């Protein structure tokens, strides 16, 4: 604990309260795994914590302002960089050590059944020898449920602040289960949707692929975080039972990571299949359009051919119908010649068009 938390000579507590209406959601002081005080501000928490040397305090905050975190940092010796990360949020999951204080960033995930999408929440933890400060930036995860679970198991909570860290990690990882199942259902639906020719399926594949990538970004770093914790078991004297429990959490993280990696591969394959099917449908549409254009061209040929055949006698008869004197009019064979000429030309055109396949 930071020296700034020491009492003055007359026993007074430094006045740096988290006033009403601030981000403090819950604060508890525990002794031997049992809650012995529920302070409503920082000063009361420090006072209750100082009464016995074996007590631990757990303060939960929701979207705190910078002055609130500065007060906590001054009292508990939190590193300035960690405080800045907790204020700004939008951090990647990570584990950092500042002396005896652990700073952990987690991303919780929740599956929204109504909208069929994954929602993410960010959680920052400051873990010291006798204090835990949790800073949430979203509704998820529900740390009140974690607190109730620990308070219902004094034996576990009596193991100290490491037990609180384990319980929160376990809750975050357990929350991944419904997300994995929800994503699995979405992928099954998309696989069926791909073969229906729905034009919206490409957009859904893309959106789901992004959710899977975001989910991996929340899950994969936990392996590094848990490995980092395991590396400090001996140095920081972590309880053996907690070590086994944290290894179990690590196993669940590994299984989740493998499952989600499989989903990413599935989506990549589905996208490839969808691209092939879209290409096939486009080819079929082009073929249909080509066939229609060809059929239309054939009809145009026929119409043009018959128009040419009919135009020839019309042309000849039109010439004879003009107010001109034509030499054949005075002969007996004039009109038969004109009719024969019309017939010969028409038959000739018909034969020519027939040979070319226009008729």
Q: For the residues of 244-306, what is the DSSP string, one character each?
A: HHHHHHHHHHHHHHHHHHHHHHHHHHHHHHHHHHHHHHHHHHHHHHHHHHHHHHHHHHHHHHH
> What pLDDT is recorded for position 235?
85
337-351 pLDDT per residue, tens: 677 777 777 777 777
Strand partners, 111: 118
If you search the block for the tokens 């016995």, which residue do you land on?
A: 52
Cα atoms in the Cβ-side hemisphere of radius 13 Å centred on 99: 12
pTM, whole model, 2 decimals? 0.74
**Strands in 68-139 per DSSP E:** 94-98, 101-112, 117-127, 131-136
What are the residue ranges spanned by the domains of the chain? 1-174, 297-355
* Distant-in-sequence, close-in-space partners of 195: CB < 8 Å, separation ≥ 6: 277
Is domain 297-355 in CATH 3.30.1490, yes or no? no
> What pLDDT is recorded for position 328?
60
* DSSP H stretches of helix in 51-175: 66-76, 80-88, 143-151, 154-157, 161-174
Question: Does 297-355 match 1-174 at the fold level?
Answer: no
> What pLDDT is recorded for position 233?
87
167-195 pLDDT per residue, tens: 999 999 999 999 999 999 999 988 888 88
> What pLDDT is recorded for position 17?
42
Strand partners, 95: 104
Instruction: State how beta strands 117-127 and 131-136 pair.
Output: antiparallel
Q: Exposed/middle/buried for 162, CB within 10 Å: 0-12, 13-18, 19+?
A: buried
Q: Which residue has the higher pLDDT, 286 or 35?
A: 35
Sign of the torsion formed by the C-alpha atoms of 164, 169, 171 and 174: negative
21: left (phi > 0), else alpha (psi -120 to 50), else beta? left
Q: Which residue has the higher pLDDT, 356 or 33?
A: 33
The CATH number of the domain covering residues in 1-174: 3.30.460.20
What is the Cα–Cα distance from 208 to 82, expressed in whole angstroms? 33
């Amino acid at each position: 604990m930071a020296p700034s938390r020491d009492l003055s000579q007359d026993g007074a507590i430094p006045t740096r309260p988290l006033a009403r209406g601030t981000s403090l959601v819950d604060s508890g002081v525990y002794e031997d795994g049992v809650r012995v005080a529920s302070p409503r501000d920082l000063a009361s928490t420090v006072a209750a914590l100082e009464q016995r040397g074996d007590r631990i305090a757990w303060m939960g905050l929701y979207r705190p302002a910078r002055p609130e975190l500065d007060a906590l940092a001054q009292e508990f010796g939190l590193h300035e960089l960690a405080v800045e990360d907790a204020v700004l949020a939008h951090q990647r999951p990570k584990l950092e050590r500042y002396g005896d204080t652990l700073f952990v960033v987690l991303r919780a995930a929740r599956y929204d059944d109504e909208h069929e999408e994954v929602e993410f929440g960010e959680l920052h933890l400051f873990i010291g020898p006798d204090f835990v400060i949790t800073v949430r930036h979203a509704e998820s995860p529900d740390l009140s449920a974690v607190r109730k679970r620990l308070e219902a198991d004094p034996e576990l909570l009596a193991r100290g602040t490491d037990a609180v860290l384990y319980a929160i990690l376990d809750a975050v990882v357990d929350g991944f289960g419904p997300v994995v199942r929800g994503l699995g259902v979405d992928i099954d639906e998309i696989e069926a949707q791909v073969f229906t020719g729905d034009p919206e399926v490409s957009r859904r594949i893309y959106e789901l692929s992004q959710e899977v990538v975001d989910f991996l970004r929340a899950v994969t770093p936990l392996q590094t975080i848990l490995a980092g914790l395991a590396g400090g078991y001996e140095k920081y004297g972590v309880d053996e039972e907690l070590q086994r429990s944290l290894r179990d959490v690590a196993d669940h993280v590994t299984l989740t990571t493998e499952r989600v990696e499989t989903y990413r591969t599935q989506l990549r394959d589905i996208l490839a299949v969808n691209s092939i099917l879209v290409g096939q449908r486009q080819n079929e549409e082009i073929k249909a359009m080509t066939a229609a254009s060809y059929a239309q061209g054939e009809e145009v040929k026929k119409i043009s051919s018959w128009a040419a055949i009919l135009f020839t006698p019309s042309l000849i008869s039109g010439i004879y119908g003009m107010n001109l004197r034509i030499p054949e009019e005075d002969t007996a064979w004039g009109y038969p010649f004109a009719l024969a000429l019309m017939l010969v030309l028409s038959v000739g055109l018909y034969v020519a068009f027939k040979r070319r396949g226009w008729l």
